[in-house]
Amino acid sequence: MWKILVVDDNQPSRELLRYFLGGPDRLILQAEDGPGAVAATEEFTPDLVLLDLQLPVWSGYQVLGRIRENPRCRAVPVIAVTAAAMSGERERALSAGFDAFIVKPIDGARLRAAVARLLHNGTWKENHASR
């Protein structure tokens, strides 16, 4: 079973990500702010994190830094998710250590492709292909 942590302060965004990623072989965990995200990574050691860049308390960049400080989570793939896709933001996120960059509104096919690449080197089977 894959454990995927979805971190976003907006509940509809979390639910949409859950919808796109849900399946019988996936446990979708949720957090709504930076401290909650760090606590969840420490408690559950997820296989993948989807992390909004604009969060209350700590930014997505600060959360990424804290996740990478934990030896158990250092290699966990983290996908940056943002609605603020200004020029250069993708490059900034990738150079900061994010493994992929997804822009809102979420494109389900692009999201699943990024997850497939990070979890299974492109072989992830999506149970909800019609989404």
The answer to whether position 8 is within a domain reads: yes
Give dist(CA 48, CA 83) in Å, integer.
20
State how far the Cα of 31 lies from the Cα of 41, in Å rounded to an integer: 10
Whole-model pTM: value is: 0.90
Is 30 inside any structural domain?
Answer: yes
69: CATH? 3.40.50.2300
Contact 59, 85 (CB under 8 A): no
Structural domain span for residue 39: 2-120
pLDDT digits (tens, 9 = 90+) for 28-66: 999 999 999 999 999 999 999 999 999 999 999 999 999
Residue 130 inside a domain? The answer is no
The reply to whether 131 falls in a domain is no
C-alpha span between 42 and 125 (Å, rounded): 27
107 assigned to some structural domain: yes
Structural domain contains residue 84: yes
Residue 58 lies in a domain: yes
Domain count, the chain: 1
pLDDT given for residue 128 in this prediction: 33
Whether residue 109 lies inside any domain: the answer is yes
Q: Token pair 């690449």 is at which residue?
A: 117
Kindly report the length of the chain: 131
